[in-house]
A and B are shown apart, each in its own frame.
Chain A
């Protein structure tokens, strides 16, 4: 069945470091792919999305490219800030109504 696998955390970086959080998926067809972010004590918020192969989603300096050939949707940011500390979830939509989420990767950014 459809599923999402993302790298385990926590990931600890210094401010201004480069961030990559890996996400790979298994799916029939061509699902839409997402990154959600969860700040402490809050619900999830959509960070970015891509709906077809080679699309690049971007928001707040974060980017991810839908790679059909490697079934990946890795999250990147060139220079992280302390305020980026959160848990990041990769997700896919696997029919009109259902979504699969990865297990989440906690990011800690130190000043």
Chain B
């Protein structure tokens, strides 16, 4: 099992460009999450998907959209990137509402110039 995979690992964008971060899990988990990690601020929840077909906003959803393509895949889209979106992005998955443990991907380091 690969666990949670994310692509790309690194990306540099110019202000105003768009891109999609991909996340996939092979553990048959129901819930998936997108976080951003900024220095001194820990992880902040952008969006999550409690189950296939549902998505909800987290703490910092502005400037992002998500798609739960199927049970395995959960993508994060930046429609018009801004320098404030420079961050490390982590995807995570969790089996069900009754379980606590999240499993994290290796992260995507995004720089917006």
Give chain B's interface secondary structure class: strand
Q: Which of B42, B58, B103 has the most CB of A within 10 A?
A: B42
Q: Which of B33, B43, B48, B104 has the most CB of A within 10 A?
A: B43
Structural contact, A43 and B90, CB atoms closer than 8 A: yes
Structural contact, A101 and B42, CB atoms closer than 8 A: yes
- Is there a chain B Cβ closer than 8 Å to A58's Cβ? no
User: How far is it, in angstroms, between the C-alpha of A44 and the C-alpha of B97 when the chains are bound?
Assistant: 20
User: How far is it, in angstroms, between the C-alpha of A43 and the C-alpha of B2 when the chains are bound?
Assistant: 13
- Is there a chain A Cβ closer than 8 Å to B105's Cβ? yes
User: With A89-B43, A96-B97 as given contacts, are A44 and B48 in contact (CB-CB < 8 Å)?
Assistant: no
Residues on the B chain within 8 Å of A34, using CB:
100
Residues on the B chain within 8 Å of A102, using CB:
42
Interface residues of A, Cβ cutoff 8 Å to B: 4, 32, 34, 41-46, 49, 51, 89, 93, 96-99, 101-104
6 tightest A-B contacts by CB?
A43-B104, A101-B43, A101-B42, A103-B42, A96-B97, A44-B104
